[in-house]
Protein backbone atom coordinates (compact mmCIF):
# COMPACT_ATOMS: atom_id res chain seq x y z
CA UNK A 1 0.00 0.00 0.00
CA UNK A 2 2.81 2.34 0.91
CA UNK A 3 4.55 1.45 -2.31
CA UNK A 4 1.42 2.30 -4.28
CA UNK A 5 1.07 5.66 -2.52
CA UNK A 6 4.72 6.43 -3.12
CA UNK A 7 4.34 5.56 -6.80
CA UNK A 8 1.22 7.76 -7.20
CA UNK A 9 2.90 10.61 -5.35
CA UNK A 10 5.98 10.36 -7.54
CA UNK A 11 3.81 10.44 -10.66
CA UNK A 12 1.99 13.51 -9.42
CA UNK A 13 5.25 15.33 -8.65
CA UNK A 14 6.61 14.42 -12.06
CA UNK A 15 3.44 15.69 -13.74
CA UNK A 16 3.62 18.98 -11.85
CA UNK A 17 7.27 19.38 -12.81
CA UNK A 18 6.51 18.68 -16.46
CA UNK A 19 3.55 21.03 -16.41
CA UNK A 20 5.66 23.80 -14.87
CA UNK A 21 8.37 23.22 -17.46
CA UNK A 22 5.82 23.50 -20.24
CA UNK A 23 4.59 26.78 -18.80
CA UNK A 24 8.12 28.15 -18.71
CA UNK A 25 8.77 27.03 -22.27
CA UNK A 26 5.52 28.63 -23.37
CA UNK A 27 6.53 31.92 -21.73
CA UNK A 28 9.89 31.81 -23.45
CA UNK A 29 8.22 31.12 -26.76
CA UNK A 30 6.04 34.20 -26.43
CA UNK A 31 8.62 36.57 -24.93
CA UNK A 32 11.70 35.41 -26.77
CA UNK A 33 14.60 33.33 -25.62
CA UNK A 34 17.62 35.54 -24.96
CA UNK A 35 20.06 35.18 -27.84
CA UNK A 36 23.35 36.99 -28.04
CA UNK A 37 23.94 36.25 -31.72
CA UNK A 38 24.61 39.21 -33.99
CA UNK A 39 21.56 40.17 -36.01
CA UNK A 40 19.04 38.68 -33.58
CA UNK A 41 16.92 40.46 -31.02
CA UNK A 42 17.59 39.48 -27.43
CA UNK A 43 14.91 40.01 -24.83
CA UNK A 44 16.72 43.02 -23.34
CA UNK A 45 16.77 44.65 -26.78
CA UNK A 46 13.08 45.44 -26.41
CA UNK A 47 13.90 47.86 -23.60
CA UNK A 48 16.95 49.04 -25.52
CA UNK A 49 14.88 49.82 -28.60
CA UNK A 50 12.31 51.64 -26.47
CA UNK A 51 15.05 53.78 -24.97
CA UNK A 52 16.62 54.41 -28.38
CA UNK A 53 13.28 55.45 -29.88
CA UNK A 54 12.55 57.70 -26.92
CA UNK A 55 15.86 59.48 -27.43
CA UNK A 56 15.28 59.85 -31.17
CA UNK A 57 11.69 61.03 -30.78
CA UNK A 58 12.58 63.55 -28.07
CA UNK A 59 15.32 65.07 -30.22
CA UNK A 60 13.08 65.24 -33.30
CA UNK A 61 10.21 66.88 -31.43
CA UNK A 62 12.60 69.45 -29.93
CA UNK A 63 13.75 70.44 -33.41
CA UNK A 64 10.24 71.20 -34.66
CA UNK A 65 9.02 72.61 -31.34
CA UNK A 66 10.90 75.88 -31.75
CA UNK A 67 10.53 79.07 -33.81
CA UNK A 68 10.88 78.23 -37.51
CA UNK A 69 10.80 74.50 -36.79
CA UNK A 70 8.09 74.40 -39.44
CA UNK A 71 8.20 77.87 -40.99
CA UNK A 72 11.93 77.66 -41.66
CA UNK A 73 11.86 74.18 -43.20
CA UNK A 74 10.77 74.06 -46.83
CA UNK A 75 9.62 70.45 -46.45
CA UNK A 76 7.47 71.16 -43.40
CA UNK A 77 6.21 74.69 -43.98
CA UNK A 78 2.42 74.77 -44.01
CA UNK A 79 0.92 76.84 -46.81
CA UNK A 80 -2.71 77.71 -47.42
CA UNK A 81 -4.75 75.00 -49.15
CA UNK A 82 -4.14 74.71 -52.89
CA UNK A 83 -7.83 75.34 -53.57
CA UNK A 84 -7.45 78.73 -51.92
CA UNK A 85 -5.18 79.97 -54.70
CA UNK A 86 -7.98 81.65 -56.61
CA UNK A 87 -8.90 83.56 -53.44
CA UNK A 88 -5.40 84.48 -52.31
CA UNK A 89 -4.36 85.54 -55.80
CA UNK A 90 -7.09 88.18 -55.72
CA UNK A 91 -6.34 89.27 -52.14
CA UNK A 92 -2.73 89.93 -53.13
CA UNK A 93 -3.96 92.60 -55.53
CA UNK A 94 -5.39 94.59 -52.62
CA UNK A 95 -2.99 96.92 -50.70
CA UNK A 96 -1.77 95.00 -47.65
CA UNK A 97 -3.36 91.81 -48.91
CA UNK A 98 -0.13 89.89 -49.41
CA UNK A 99 1.07 90.78 -45.91
CA UNK A 100 -2.23 89.50 -44.53
CA UNK A 101 -1.78 86.16 -46.30
CA UNK A 102 1.81 85.90 -45.06
CA UNK A 103 0.58 86.50 -41.52
CA UNK A 104 -2.00 83.72 -41.79
CA UNK A 105 0.65 81.32 -43.11
CA UNK A 106 3.01 82.28 -40.29
CA UNK A 107 0.24 81.64 -37.76
CA UNK A 108 -0.34 78.19 -39.22
CA UNK A 109 3.31 77.31 -38.75
CA UNK A 110 3.71 78.89 -35.33
CA UNK A 111 0.70 76.90 -34.16
CA UNK A 112 2.25 73.68 -35.50
CA UNK A 113 5.53 74.50 -33.74
CA UNK A 114 3.69 75.07 -30.45
CA UNK A 115 1.54 71.96 -30.84
CA UNK A 116 4.62 69.77 -31.34
CA UNK A 117 5.32 69.97 -27.60
CA UNK A 118 2.27 67.77 -26.99
CA UNK A 119 3.58 65.05 -29.31
CA UNK A 120 6.48 63.78 -27.18
CA UNK A 121 4.44 62.33 -24.27
CA UNK A 122 2.00 60.72 -26.72
CA UNK A 123 4.83 59.10 -28.67
CA UNK A 124 6.57 57.93 -25.50
CA UNK A 125 3.32 56.42 -24.22
CA UNK A 126 3.05 54.32 -27.40
CA UNK A 127 6.72 53.32 -27.16
CA UNK A 128 6.26 52.06 -23.59
CA UNK A 129 3.48 49.73 -24.77
CA UNK A 130 5.71 48.16 -27.40
CA UNK A 131 5.97 44.36 -27.15
CA UNK A 132 8.90 42.06 -27.90
CA UNK A 133 7.23 41.14 -31.18
CA UNK A 134 6.76 44.83 -32.05
CA UNK A 135 10.45 45.48 -31.35
CA UNK A 136 11.57 42.61 -33.57
CA UNK A 137 9.33 43.72 -36.45
CA UNK A 138 10.51 47.31 -36.11
CA UNK A 139 14.24 46.60 -35.83
CA UNK A 140 14.31 44.33 -38.88
CA UNK A 141 11.53 46.10 -40.76
CA UNK A 142 11.50 48.86 -43.35
CA UNK A 143 13.52 52.06 -42.90
CA UNK A 144 10.52 53.78 -41.34
CA UNK A 145 9.02 50.79 -39.50
CA UNK A 146 9.12 52.57 -36.13
CA UNK A 147 7.55 55.67 -37.66
CA UNK A 148 4.72 53.59 -39.10
CA UNK A 149 4.21 51.91 -35.71
CA UNK A 150 3.93 55.34 -34.07
CA UNK A 151 1.63 56.65 -36.80
CA UNK A 152 -0.72 53.69 -36.35
CA UNK A 153 -0.76 53.94 -32.57
CA UNK A 154 -0.75 57.71 -31.98
CA UNK A 155 -2.50 59.51 -34.87
CA UNK A 156 -5.91 59.73 -33.20
CA UNK A 157 -4.39 61.06 -29.96
CA UNK A 158 -2.23 63.54 -31.83
CA UNK A 159 -5.20 64.96 -33.74
CA UNK A 160 -7.03 65.39 -30.42
CA UNK A 161 -4.00 67.19 -28.94
CA UNK A 162 -3.12 69.27 -31.99
CA UNK A 163 -6.46 70.51 -33.30
CA UNK A 164 -7.43 72.74 -30.32
CA UNK A 165 -4.00 74.39 -30.47
CA UNK A 166 -4.23 74.94 -34.23
CA UNK A 167 -7.80 76.24 -33.94
CA UNK A 168 -6.91 78.58 -31.08
CA UNK A 169 -4.09 80.11 -33.11
CA UNK A 170 -6.30 80.56 -36.16
CA UNK A 171 -9.03 82.13 -34.01
CA UNK A 172 -6.73 84.94 -32.82
CA UNK A 173 -7.53 88.35 -34.25
CA UNK A 174 -5.53 89.65 -37.17
CA UNK A 175 -5.89 93.07 -38.78
CA UNK A 176 -9.21 94.77 -37.96
CA UNK A 177 -10.13 92.27 -35.26
CA UNK A 178 -10.75 89.47 -37.76
CA UNK A 179 -9.21 86.06 -37.18
CA UNK A 180 -7.72 83.80 -39.83
CA UNK A 181 -10.62 81.36 -39.40
CA UNK A 182 -13.21 84.13 -39.70
CA UNK A 183 -11.50 85.58 -42.75
CA UNK A 184 -11.20 82.14 -44.32
CA UNK A 185 -14.84 81.28 -43.69
CA UNK A 186 -16.00 84.65 -45.05
CA UNK A 187 -13.85 84.33 -48.14
CA UNK A 188 -14.87 80.76 -48.90
CA UNK A 189 -18.55 81.50 -48.29
CA UNK A 190 -18.46 84.43 -50.70
CA UNK A 191 -16.47 82.47 -53.26
CA UNK A 192 -18.73 79.44 -53.01
CA UNK A 193 -21.79 81.56 -53.78
CA UNK A 194 -20.17 82.50 -57.06
CA UNK A 195 -18.88 78.97 -57.70
CA UNK A 196 -22.36 77.52 -57.17
CA UNK A 197 -24.04 80.08 -59.40
CA UNK A 198 -24.85 79.46 -63.05
CA UNK A 199 -21.98 81.71 -64.12
CA UNK A 200 -19.59 79.91 -61.78
CA UNK A 201 -20.54 76.55 -63.21
CA UNK A 202 -20.06 77.87 -66.75
CA UNK A 203 -16.53 78.96 -65.82
CA UNK A 204 -15.86 75.64 -64.09
CA UNK A 205 -15.39 77.06 -60.59
CA UNK A 206 -15.26 74.47 -57.80
CA UNK A 207 -16.56 75.30 -54.31
CA UNK A 208 -13.96 75.34 -51.53
CA UNK A 209 -15.00 72.99 -48.71
CA UNK A 210 -11.76 72.85 -46.72
CA UNK A 211 -11.97 73.43 -42.97
CA UNK A 212 -8.86 75.47 -42.19
CA UNK A 213 -8.28 74.04 -38.70
CA UNK A 214 -8.59 70.44 -39.88
CA UNK A 215 -6.37 71.13 -42.87
CA UNK A 216 -3.71 72.78 -40.69
CA UNK A 217 -3.81 69.96 -38.13
CA UNK A 218 -3.34 67.28 -40.78
CA UNK A 219 -0.51 69.20 -42.43
CA UNK A 220 1.23 69.71 -39.08
CA UNK A 221 1.09 65.98 -38.35
CA UNK A 222 2.21 65.08 -41.88
CA UNK A 223 5.27 67.25 -41.30
CA UNK A 224 5.93 65.75 -37.88
CA UNK A 225 5.85 62.16 -39.16
CA UNK A 226 7.98 63.15 -42.15
CA UNK A 227 10.65 64.43 -39.77
CA UNK A 228 10.40 61.37 -37.51
CA UNK A 229 10.74 59.09 -40.55
CA UNK A 230 13.79 60.97 -41.82
CA UNK A 231 15.45 60.70 -38.41
CA UNK A 232 14.72 56.97 -38.20
CA UNK A 233 16.08 56.26 -41.69
CA UNK A 234 19.20 58.26 -40.89
CA UNK A 235 19.86 56.33 -37.68
CA UNK A 236 19.39 53.02 -39.48
CA UNK A 237 21.81 53.80 -42.31
CA UNK A 238 24.24 56.33 -40.87
CA UNK A 239 26.45 55.13 -38.02
CA UNK A 240 27.41 58.73 -37.21
CA UNK A 241 23.75 59.53 -36.48
CA UNK A 242 23.73 57.08 -33.56
CA UNK A 243 24.75 59.71 -31.06
CA UNK A 244 24.14 57.73 -27.87
CA UNK A 245 25.48 54.39 -26.63
CA UNK A 246 22.03 52.79 -26.64
CA UNK A 247 21.42 53.84 -30.26
CA UNK A 248 24.76 52.33 -31.24
CA UNK A 249 24.12 49.07 -29.40
CA UNK A 250 20.61 48.47 -30.75
CA UNK A 251 21.06 49.53 -34.36
CA UNK A 252 24.50 47.92 -34.71
CA UNK A 253 22.56 44.71 -35.39
CA UNK A 254 21.64 46.17 -38.78
CA UNK A 255 25.25 46.71 -39.87
24 with 49, same domain: the answer is no
DSSP 8-state code for residue 179: B
CB atoms within 10 A of CB 207: 14
- Number of separate domains in the chain: 2
Domain assignment present for residue 121? The answer is: yes
118 with 204, same domain: the answer is yes
| Residue 75: closest CA among 222, 242, 186 | 222
20 with 49, same domain: the answer is no
Top-ranked range on mean pLDDT: pick from 40-44, 65-69, 182-186, 249-253: 65-69
Evaluate whether 45 touches 139 at the Cβ level (below 8 Å).
yes
- For 91, 101, 177, 246, the CA distances from 96, given in Å and listed in that order, are 9, 9, 15, 53
Domain assignment present for residue 36? The answer is: no
The answer on pLDDT for 32 being more than 50 is no
Domain assignment present for residue 238? The answer is: yes
Domain that holds residue 24: 1-31
Evaluate whether 105 touches 79 at the Cβ level (below 8 Å).
yes
Q: What is the pLDDT of residue 44?
A: 67
Q: HEC states along 123-163?
A: HHHHHHCCCHHHHHHHHCCCCCHHHHHHHHHHHHHHHHHHH
Give me the mean pLDDT over the 144-155 stretch: 96
Q: What is the pLDDT of residue 4?
A: 43
Give me the mean pLDDT over the 26-43 stretch: 44
Domain assignment present for residue 37? The answer is: no
Q: What is the pLDDT of residue 217?
A: 96
More confident residue, 237 or 100: 237
166 with 214, same domain: the answer is yes
Lowest-confidence segment of 25-39, 40-54, 127-141 by average pLDDT: 25-39
10 with 113, same domain: the answer is no
Q: What is the pLDDT of residue 72?
A: 96
CB atoms within 10 A of CB 253: 17
Evaluate whether 160 touches 125 at the Cβ level (below 8 Å).
no
More confident residue, 93 or 201: 201
Evaluate whether 101 touches 91 at the Cβ level (below 8 Å).
yes
Top-ranked range on mean pLDDT: pick from 25-29, 85-89, 182-186: 182-186
Q: What is the pLDDT of residue 121?
A: 96
Lowest-confidence segment of 3-7, 62-66, 122-126, 198-202 by average pLDDT: 3-7
Domain assignment present for residue 131? The answer is: yes
The answer on pLDDT for 128 being more than 70 is yes
156 with 76, same domain: the answer is yes
Q: What is the pLDDT of residue 119?
A: 96
128 with 24, same domain: the answer is no
12 with 137, same domain: the answer is no
More confident residue, 78 or 96: 78
What is d(CA 225, CA 150) in angstroms, rounded to the nearest whole number? 9
Domain assignment present for residue 160? The answer is: yes
Evaluate whether 124 touches 116 at the Cβ level (below 8 Å).
no
25 with 140, same domain: the answer is no
148 with 235, same domain: the answer is yes
pLDDT digits (tens, 9 = 90+) for 174-233: 666 778 788 788 878 888 888 899 988 888 888 888 888 999 999 999 999 999 999 999
Domain assignment present for residue 38? The answer is: no
Q: Residue 178: helix, strand or coil by DSSP? A: coil
Q: What is the pLDDT of residue 85?
A: 79
Domain assignment present for residue 226? The answer is: yes
236 with 115, same domain: the answer is yes
4 with 58, same domain: the answer is no
Task: Burial-class residue 40 by CB neighbours within 10 Å (0-12, 13-18, 19+).
Answer: middle
Angle (nearest 5°) at CA 110 between 144 and 156: 45
Evaluate whether 84 touches 59 at the Cβ level (below 8 Å).
no
pTM equals 0.74
Task: Burial-class residue 192 by CB neighbours within 10 Å (0-12, 13-18, 19+).
Answer: middle
Amino acid sequence: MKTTRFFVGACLLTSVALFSSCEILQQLATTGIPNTSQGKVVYSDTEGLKEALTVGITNTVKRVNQPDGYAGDALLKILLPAEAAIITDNIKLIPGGEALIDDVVLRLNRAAEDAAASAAPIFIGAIKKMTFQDATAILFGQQTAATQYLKTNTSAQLVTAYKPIMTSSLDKDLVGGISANTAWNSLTTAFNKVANSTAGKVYGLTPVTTDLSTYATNKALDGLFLKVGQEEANIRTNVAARVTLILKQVFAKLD
